[in-house]
Structure 1
Amino acid sequence: MRKQDLALLLGYFSHQREIINELMGKIQKADTSTEERTIALGYLLHNLYCALEDLFREVADTFENKIEDPSRYHRELLKRMALEVPKIRPRLLSRESHQLLEELRGFRHVFRHSYTYSLIPEKVEALKEKILSGWAAVEKDLGDFELFLGKQLEKQS
């Protein structure tokens, strides 16, 4: 792997983590007390997954090329992040993080594609609480992978 590609990925990774942390701060403060607030929280949860998926796409593009089946792209990309690619890269997500983000991915799909569907405040709030309670595992996984990238870059210097 070229040093420039690795450096670019590390920079992008750090930038995306800042965006993800900002979104998490907003999600922590959000509530479902009105329909508008429920929609706003849904939008934040949707954006959180999209920010994570953008990060996963860059990792996949840098290390192991593209996902072949476009009809299963989102599911396969997330699954790939839970896999170690021997002699290429460690897994980015633990089993715990993968399961949590699989649920968030499912919500993102419903949110994005259900134009006539009203969000159920209790379900959106439950997802928020689940994300918040499991977020430490995701944060650890992201941090560990960012450290891996930094070490790989140092090896090439």
Structure 2
Amino acid sequence: MAVPSTTLSRDTEAPTSLEARRQSAIAAAEQCIQILKQEFGAREVILFGSLRGDGPWHWESDESDLDLAIRGLSGKALGNAYLRLEKVVPPWLKLDLVDLDNVLPHIRDRILNLTPMPQNPYLALKVRIEGEIASIEHTLARLTALLSQAESIPEIALTPALASYISDFYNGCERICQRVAVVLDESLPQGKDWHQELLNQMAQPGGRDRPPLWPETLHQRLDDYRSFRQVERHRYNFELERDRVLELAQAIPALFDEMQTAIGQFNCWLLEHASDDYRRHCPPYNTPENGLVGTGSMGINFNPFCA
């Protein structure tokens, strides 16, 4: 049964207030869910992300997010559904459709609420950062496998593939920056240079007296990858320089080790402030239930002061 066209609307202009955007996005999500189930036969559609309340609702450089996880559609049907929903979703609202059966386990667990998100904002941010790290690790494993076969892969195929993984790597780094900026700084840069400004923002102290996320030397090296991603997005694959692509790809494992060290230190700061906040509002705080004892997935001690 098709959804009557008279029930569908598409606001072309973004509401001016954050709450108005959220309400408009929720209405669009309800329409999308109805279409996916009734027109395309999706077995299950789950709203997740910031619109569900998994994190702070915000718009990122004039783009808000509508995240839907879907079960029961083929890849072709999912593509057709995306084209259909583009006619419903307002142009200022970014739509992301995820095949629930083809995502990483930690992402699926979050979508299905199998792993509850901590209520403490510092702990929740730490969990989200670790989720991004897990996704980057997945990318790194594939990149490493590709590099190990580089001599047997024709250059015409190798360079574009490596370039794609390099961009994926920096996308993960940038998502970490975005999460920190939204939760702690409560602001994201705007305008055409916002990608560079966001990276620069993370190399400086920020909101709630947070320390820099990236040391200056790491910040400079990550800027090389931001710059390359910009080039990769706006050039044809055959225009990419093979040697430069190979150099950046081979340097990622060591760079990722440095990132993990920096993030481990940043997580210690998050845990310290989480424990202070928990002591103030919900004592006793040092229990397994609130995630302040034991060891995290990155091997960081959950002692409040990382002792």
Query: TM-score band, normalised by the shorter chain?
Result: 0.7 to 0.9
Q: 1:68 to 1:123 in 2, by over 3 A?
A: closer
Query: Equivalents in 1 of 2:276, 2:268: separation in Å?
Result: 12
Deviates more, 1:11-20 or 1:146-155: 146-155
Does 2:186 align with 1:65? Answer: yes
1:44 aligned to 2:160?
A: no
Query: Match for residue 132 of structure 2?
Result: 16
Q: How many residues align?
A: 155
Query: Could you tell me which amino acid in structure 1 is paired with residue 232 of structure 2?
Result: F
Q: Deviations over 1:31-74 (max 9, x none)?
A: 35422122111111101111110110110011112234311100
Deviations 1:8-34 (A, max 9, x none): 212211111111122122222223542
Distance 1:54 1:108 in 2: 14
Matched residue of 1:156: which SS?
A: helix
Indicate the structure with greater helix content.
1
The letter of the residue matching 1:12 is R
Q: Match of 1:141, SS? A: helix
1:152 deviation in Å? Answer: 1.7
* Unmatched runs of 5 consecutive residues or more in structure 2: 1-118, 279-307
Gaps of 5+ in 1: none
- Report the structure number with the largest CA radius of gyration: 2
**Could you list the per-position Cα deviations for residues 96-115 of structure 1 after superposition, in whole angstroms to 9, with x for gaps in the alignment?**
21011000001111111224
Of all paired residues, the percent bearing the same amino acid is: 23
Q: In the aligned structure 1, how far is the partner of 2:250 from the partner of 2:271?
A: 32
TM-score normalised according to structure 1 size: 0.87
- The 2-side partners of 1:131 and 1:96 are apart by 15
Structure 2 residue 127 is matched with structure 1 residue 6: no
Q: Which has the higher contact order (CA 8 A, sep 6+)?
A: 1
CA RMSD, 1 decimal: 2.0
| Greater than 4 Å deviation, 4+ residue runs | none
Map of 1:56 onto structure 2:
177
